[in-house]
Structure 1
């Protein structure tokens, strides 16, 4: 769990997180707001699942935007597959928050996460908005409370704050995310909020965020299930008065946002339901980047590969087989594989290795699968986790 002394809010932002009664546990926060005291440039990246929640549809209509003031998030109910009533409820949530800040409803974005197909208790949410605003603040504790209110099966809030020194001055960048399962590229049942006091143009925000997401949240997978709710939103209010007019500053800020999102993505994998191993799948030497990505995803999402890692079993056959069924290789002769820097398969042939040594290396909980092909320059990296009996238990009991 992050140390609260290591995170902070950018200038002009306040947050809050309270319990409004969606979750049965009275001590569990389930309603959050991220608020800027001035208008923000905002951008968003959303799930590619055609079955998407009402909040995704409403927020997608409102970004990119130049006058966004707040994001309201509830957990415990995804407001997905709830029809026209779900859309009306999502709009009601934003209108109620907008009323508190004397702004148009369109200036508020909305996210929901939790159980699918259950009507949202929107009246309960709206009744607790005054309490939500009474708890607004700018301390690390206020930020932590908001992050906790986004959580479903997460075991800790995921928060990162950084200062970024640019030629024009120093800006602050803070990100919050939730997610522990139903995680897959493009994206997953995850939510992310990135806040900054940098001055952005709408075009800069719209370019920056997808690049960061593609190299971070789109490179993680727990079980390959793309969800209905996943959303990453960026808000920048410009209160630092530091812009990105210089190309070097723009590149530096892009790198900072990408690194922040990558670190949050790693937190999601390390908190994956029941996970005991953090797995990095590296593919190099494919014909194209698209082929490398396809192979990496196939290996990362393979149940037999995941369970072998759970047992610290260097079963290279499962990994090589997963590469073969992608259609991206002609034969196993094009494949070499190392597990935690121990060669186990080279150009189509097994390598003599000490299984006990490799197994011991896997028991550290950090597993690197290096897949090298001899086809071209395509490469891709994806982060995933193992699959344990605890994951099965948690997901077999999710709604019952």
Structure 2
């Protein structure tokens, strides 16, 4: 199978001894030259030291490297935590021979524990020596926590006839709620894009992807999406039509990564799209979809493969959107279960039960209030979710 590469970028992922259970836990992305950078971060008022550091550094619009660890969130660690985040960037910069200001940092793992900086510092030579143009899979593994699978998407496209690559990697399985991007995600491209256009495009793409997923309704303290555009391909975004074309490609990568995050949700067995149509506005559609997607009662019914459409219409009714209960239709992969706010009967329930046994399906809620629509991706709530989070720190 052809290895994934993006011209001008190298990647590494090693075991530094940060995770208690071992495995890769320290990753690095390096651009051969300073690249345009954009970032989107958590809206949680409790923010990890790396988030605070990166918020400042991306304002320059330039970045050359990102160092990432798993196993420790470096959050709620006081002044020492900020010193540790800065030290991570400083040691990475020294090893790479670049300016410290060009290094961003990201962390994920347990909150409230001091960073094991000795392990990070001692592993720096091994980390930089492991850098490879084909190292994205090792990097993806190094940033995982409760994830079961690495998440990497790579696409090739053309801009004005010149080929370029857009590649993204994400981690996320728990603490997932549409409130920025409850996870870590890193996007690189060898397309040339100005920092201003990159920031606008990334913010819009995140709103269409990671802001429309949920696993458990919790917003993390470490949510970070960083994107670097190096320009090595020779292709560039120079006009509004080209920006729109780039946006479509970026949205595709982000949405595919977002779906992978939900599909790999802690204990999840189902990936379900909650689509609301016929709303008076897109905002109304989003509110209804969010409320249904977040409902624990809906999510446990999905796990139990129970065609309990009453939980769905009840969630829609408490969304804060003025809905007409007697007008609502609910379909499961095209099978009508509820028409005009009433059941379609036993035969429909049997057909819907068959749909609920599939690993992926779509629930459509038609409000019949207008023409607007919106979707949110969710998963079921299983017994394994409780088990995973009951002993996460052990």
The TM-score bracket by the shorter chain reads over 0.9
The answer to whether the aligner puts 1:9 opposite 2:37 as a matched pair is no
Q: CA deviation at 1:331?
A: 4.0
Counterpart of 1:372?
A: 366
Counterpart of 2:152?
A: 159
Measured in 2, the distance between the counterparts of 1:233 and 1:240 equals 20
Counterpart of 1:96?
A: 91
Measured in 1, the distance between the counterparts of 2:273 and 2:69 equals 32
Measured in 2, the distance between the counterparts of 1:326 and 1:159 equals 34
Task: From 215, 230, 235, give the equivalent of 2:228.
Answer: 235
CA-to-partner distance for each residue in 1:236-272, whole Å, 9 max, x for gaps?
Answer: 1111121111333221111111100100111111111
Measured in 2, the distance between the counterparts of 1:188 and 1:81 equals 20
Task: From 386, 390, 393, give the equivalent of 1:396.
Answer: 390
Deviates more, 1:253-262 or 1:337-346: 337-346
Q: Which runs of 5+ in 1 are unaligned?
A: none
Change (3 A) 1:7 1:307: farther
Measured in 1, the distance between the counterparts of 2:228 and 2:189 equals 6
Measured in 1, the distance between the counterparts of 2:355 and 2:157 equals 36
Q: Which runs of 5+ in 2 are unaligned?
A: none
Q: CA deviation at 1:340?
A: 1.9
The answer to whether the aligner puts 1:290 opposite 2:319 as a matched pair is no
Change (3 A) 1:20 1:146: same
Measured in 2, the distance between the counterparts of 1:377 and 1:117 equals 47
Q: CA deviation at 1:168?
A: 4.3
Measured in 2, the distance between the counterparts of 1:184 and 1:359 equals 27
SS of corresponding position for 1:85: helix
Counterpart of 2:101?
A: 106
Measured in 1, the distance between the counterparts of 2:238 and 2:53 equals 32
Counterpart of 1:212?
A: 205
Measured in 2, the distance between the counterparts of 1:201 and 1:353 equals 58
Change (3 A) 1:304 1:366: same
Counterpart of 1:122?
A: 117
Measured in 2, the distance between the counterparts of 1:188 and 1:250 equals 23
Counterpart of 1:79?
A: 74
Q: CA deviation at 1:189?
A: 3.8
Measured in 1, the distance between the counterparts of 2:163 and 2:346 equals 51
Measured in 1, the distance between the counterparts of 2:2 and 2:254 equals 16
Written as runs of structure 1 = structure 2, the 5 A alignment for 1:16-27 is 16-26=12-22
Q: CA deviation at 1:350?
A: 2.1
Equivalent pairs counted in the alignment come to 393
Q: CA deviation at 1:310?
A: 0.8
SS of corresponding position for 1:38: strand
Matched-pair contact (CA < 8 Å) for 1:10–1:197: yes
SS of corresponding position for 2:316: helix
Change (3 A) 1:6 1:187: farther
The answer to whether the aligner puts 1:362 opposite 2:321 as a matched pair is no
Measured in 1, the distance between the counterparts of 2:161 and 2:31 equals 22
| Aligned alpha-carbon RMSD (Å) | 1.3
Deviates more, 1:85-94 or 1:331-340: 331-340
Matched-pair contact (CA < 8 Å) for 1:188–1:230: yes
Could you state the TM-score of these two structures normalised by the residue count of structure 2? 0.97
SS of corresponding position for 1:63: helix
Q: CA deviation at 1:149?
A: 0.4
Q: CA deviation at 1:188?
A: 4.6
SS of corresponding position for 1:182: coil
Counterpart of 1:328?
A: 321
Counterpart of 1:57?
A: 52
Matched-pair contact (CA < 8 Å) for 1:188–1:225: no
Measured in 1, the distance between the counterparts of 2:326 and 2:50 equals 48
The answer to whether the aligner puts 1:36 opposite 2:31 as a matched pair is yes
Task: From 364, 381, 389, give the equivalent of 1:387.
Answer: 381
Measured in 1, the distance between the counterparts of 2:199 and 2:180 equals 17
Measured in 2, the distance between the counterparts of 1:331 and 1:41 equals 48
SS of corresponding position for 1:128: helix
Measured in 2, the distance between the counterparts of 1:145 and 1:80 equals 25
Written as runs of structure 1 = structure 2, the 5 A alignment for 1:237-386 is 237-354=230-347, 355-386=349-380
